Structure 1
Amino acid sequence: MTPSVHVNPLQRVSAADAVAWHQVVAASTAHDLPGVPTPDPGQIHAQLTKPSLGSHRLTWLATAADGRPVGVAALRVFTSAGQEHLAELELHVDPAHRRMGAGSRLLSTVVAACRTENRRSLIATAAADGPGEVFSERSGFRRALTLDHLMLRLDGSDTDGLLRIADAEHPGYRLTGWTGTVPDGLAAAFAAAKNAMNDMPVGDLDYGSVAWDVDRVRAMAAVVADRGDTLLTVAAVHDDGTMAGYTEILIPQGSAPRVQQYDTAVVPAHRGHGLGLWVKAAMVRRLRDEHPGVVEIETDNADDNVHMLAVNHRLGFRSYRRTREFQLDLSAT
């Protein structure tokens, strides 16, 4: 007999809910993604309760008959123009309680919420060739994109080579950087450069596009700060005042040794000058100077993003795992 599973919507995520959520995510991550750090309960509470950019979040906790947490689901419902059709799912089931209906119950609840929210596309991420991939394909999702995750060890990379790249001259361009919100004098140029991300490879995902303006880049920085995280940016500025390219790093709250690459982009009119390599090398130097406790940078690229993969490999990033993006076309189900 299959044990009963109760799916409970979390109208307000309490500290106790965050502890239960962490318990499930930690067990799921350790099983499916060994070596990948799990956010602590405080970080999870912030992620689930603080406002997100251009979206709102719905959450559910699945419990066994005795009240033990066995699964969680979070649905990010996008609200920005160009993405009103889209929702993104994060779903975890404790490995000790899999094949008992918790994942299917959570997914059914999420799909119903997507229909209520008038979504046509639901996307989710799973480790390549892992149980999440099997579950996704059995549940009607189609494979839409493969991501190559890469890691750079700052204590083992070629310091002299990175410094040479960061110190190389690029006539007509200068480097600048900031922490958190972009300075007022660069805000308009940064917003314009952000729109270069709209041509990044997304495979067969129905991802839509986002129009960046000054208000949106400031709102993004505020969201990151409100979670307790730190956002670092290094940018290349042309002599005419145009921001030609930039790279961002997210440092999770606390003193995490691993940081996450956010966006890296070069504006089309300025491509072909090595600016992506330049700003990323300069960011590595900045991390070493300002955040010596950071020892790893994790990034990911679509497996057909040949140019950025080449940039990252030249900097010393090495592939260490792969994930896949799946999409459920709700209009066909």
Structure 2
Amino acid sequence: MSPSAHVTPLQRASDTEAASWHQVVAASTAHDMPGVLAPSLGQIHAQLTQPALGSRRLTWLATTADGTTVGVAGLRLFTSPSQQHLAELELTVDPAHRRLRTGSLLLSAVVAACRAERRRSLVATAAADSPGEAFSERHGFRRALILNHLMLRLDELDVAELLRIADAERPGYRLTGWTGTVPDELADTFAAAKNAMNDMPVGDLDYGSVAWDAERVRAMGKVVADRGDTLQTIAAVHDDGTVAGYTEILIPQGLPPRVQQYDTAVVPAHRGHGLGLWVKAAMVRRLRAEHPGVVEIETDNADDNVHMLAVNHRLGFRSYRHTREFQLDVPAT
């Protein structure tokens, strides 16, 4: 069968191209993952036009002869020193145009770019038991990690238990919080705490690590703000002034009813004091007070991250779907 689409690189997305990209993603999400919220047009536009942290992005469109966009692909090229071998793929084909080699054509362009950029590891995410999973395995990707996605509905909370956890004293520690970029007086110690994320379970992914410093955490705050989203942080600070643990929530632009959990981490030297549960409970309390329109928090954990899964279940998070992380080892030639 001859190709039904033509693949071209996208240099900088126009409003029309961003809208076409959004249509493909929304149609695919509704078809493959009923009940999962697709990103908004504003989020897609920001993703395509705003710089990301610690990476740069290549994009492609697959269009039919009449100019209709039927598939999209984005390739995130990581720039951190220990991740320069790594690229991350997002590939979506409109359900009405599948099985016409559109996905294969997009993937061929992506793999060629990986070789040109000297990337040996290409990672991708697909919903469990979805067409994306079958496509990945058919094209030589191997399963590397299972992610358990959980949801907390704020209207179903055990509020008394939440407040008991959030208000509990942790001798030697205090809670603090901020919106957006970390305050200057905590920037260095917050960056040191961010490095605790490097020991989270990543299965068989060749993911590398990220070195956080004050400059990088400030850059993260700017990236989130520039794309119109809001980042809220709650941290546990030790009596010596260092950040011992923290949790982050991303509130997408437009204040939708569902927000996203970002990082939660406790510095190894401070583990065993219940700080992860403490900061997450305090964050939920803050969301209820400041953003009453928020009704759901979504998070995900590796299936073997037993400790964080236990923390989330204690707060009332419940599993509602799984995704799988895949990796393709890209040959040099």
TM-score, length-scaled by structure 2: 0.99
- The number of equivalent residue pairs is 333
Q: Distance between the aligned counterparts of 2:125 and 2:42, measured in 1?
A: 23
CA displacement, residues 194-223 of structure 1 (integer Å, 9 cap, x when unaligned): 000000000000000011000000000100
Q: Distance between the aligned counterparts of 2:282 and 2:173, measured in 1?
A: 14
1:44 aligns with 2:56: no
Corresponding residue for residue 89 of structure 1: 89
Q: Distance between the aligned counterparts of 2:182 and 2:202, measured in 1?
A: 27
Q: Distance between the aligned counterparts of 1:136 and 1:311, measured in 2?
A: 32
Indicate if the aligned counterparts of 1:3 and 1:65 stay in contact, CA closer than 8 A: no
Q: Distance between the aligned counterparts of 1:182 and 1:114, measured in 2?
A: 34
Task: Compare 147-156 and 33-42 and name the one that shifted more.
Answer: 33-42
Indicate if the aligned counterparts of 2:56 and 2:78 stay in contact, CA closer than 8 A: yes
Corresponding residue for residue 160 of structure 2: 160
Q: Distance between the aligned counterparts of 1:96 and 1:2, measured in 2?
A: 17
Indicate if the aligned counterparts of 1:3 and 1:64 stay in contact, CA closer than 8 A: no
Corresponding residue for residue 183 of structure 1: 183
Root-mean-square deviation over aligned CA pairs = 0.9
Q: Distance between the aligned counterparts of 1:134 and 1:322, measured in 2?
A: 15
1:12 aligns with 2:12: yes
Indicate if the aligned counterparts of 2:58 and 2:75 stay in contact, CA closer than 8 A: yes
Q: Distance between the aligned counterparts of 1:136 and 1:39, measured in 2?
A: 22
Q: Distance between the aligned counterparts of 2:28 and 2:126, measured in 1?
A: 11
CA displacement, residues 59-92 of structure 1 (integer Å, 9 cap, x when unaligned): 1110112221110000000011110000000000
One-letter amino acid matched to 2:11: Q
Runs of 4+ deviating beyond 4 Å: none
Indicate if the aligned counterparts of 1:5 and 1:63 stay in contact, CA closer than 8 A: yes
Q: What is the SS of the residue equivalent to 2:264?
A: strand
Corresponding residue for residue 146 of structure 1: 146
Q: CA deviation at 1:39?
A: 1.9
Indicate if the aligned counterparts of 2:47 and 2:227 stay in contact, CA closer than 8 A: yes
Q: What is the SS of the residue equivalent to 2:155?
A: coil
Corresponding residue for residue 174 of structure 2: 174
Q: Extract unaligned runs of 5+ from structure 1.
A: none
Corresponding residue for residue 202 of structure 1: 202
One-letter amino acid matched to 2:191: A
Corresponding residue for residue 262 of structure 1: 262
Indicate if the aligned counterparts of 2:10 and 2:61 stay in contact, CA closer than 8 A: yes
Paired residues for 1:11-30 under 5 Å: 11-30=11-30
Indicate if the aligned counterparts of 1:231 and 1:251 stay in contact, CA closer than 8 A: yes
Q: What is the SS of the residue equivalent to 2:132?
A: helix
Corresponding residue for residue 281 of structure 1: 281
Q: CA deviation at 1:4?
A: 2.3
Corresponding residue for residue 299 of structure 2: 299
CA displacement, residues 84-133 of structure 1 (integer Å, 9 cap, x when unaligned): 00000000001110000100000000000011111010000000111101
Q: Distance between the aligned counterparts of 1:171 and 1:43, measured in 2?
A: 41
CA displacement, residues 22-42 of structure 1 (integer Å, 9 cap, x when unaligned): 110001000111111112222
Q: What is the SS of the residue equivalent to 2:110?
A: helix
Q: CA deviation at 1:331?
A: 2.7
Q: CA deviation at 1:332?
A: 7.5
One-letter amino acid matched to 2:170: H
CA displacement, residues 1-45 of structure 1 (integer Å, 9 cap, x when unaligned): 545210011101000001100110001000111111112222211
Indicate if the aligned counterparts of 2:232 and 2:250 stay in contact, CA closer than 8 A: yes
One-letter amino acid matched to 1:112: A
Q: Extract unaligned runs of 5+ from structure 2.
A: none
One-letter amino acid matched to 1:100: L
Corresponding residue for residue 134 of structure 1: 134
One-letter amino acid matched to 1:253: Q
TM-score, length-scaled by structure 1: 0.99
Q: Distance between the aligned counterparts of 1:252 and 1:2, measured in 2?
A: 41
Indicate if the aligned counterparts of 1:82 and 1:210 stay in contact, CA closer than 8 A: yes
Q: Distance between the aligned counterparts of 1:152 and 1:161, measured in 2?
A: 14
Paired residues for 1:31-70 under 5 Å: 31-70=31-70
Q: Distance between the aligned counterparts of 2:332 and 2:3, measured in 1?
A: 31
Corresponding residue for residue 321 of structure 1: 321
One-letter amino acid matched to 1:314: R
One-letter amino acid matched to 2:257: P
CA displacement, residues 225-281 of structure 1 (integer Å, 9 cap, x when unaligned): 000000000000000111110000000000210000000000000001100000000
One-letter amino acid matched to 2:124: A
Corresponding residue for residue 272 of structure 1: 272
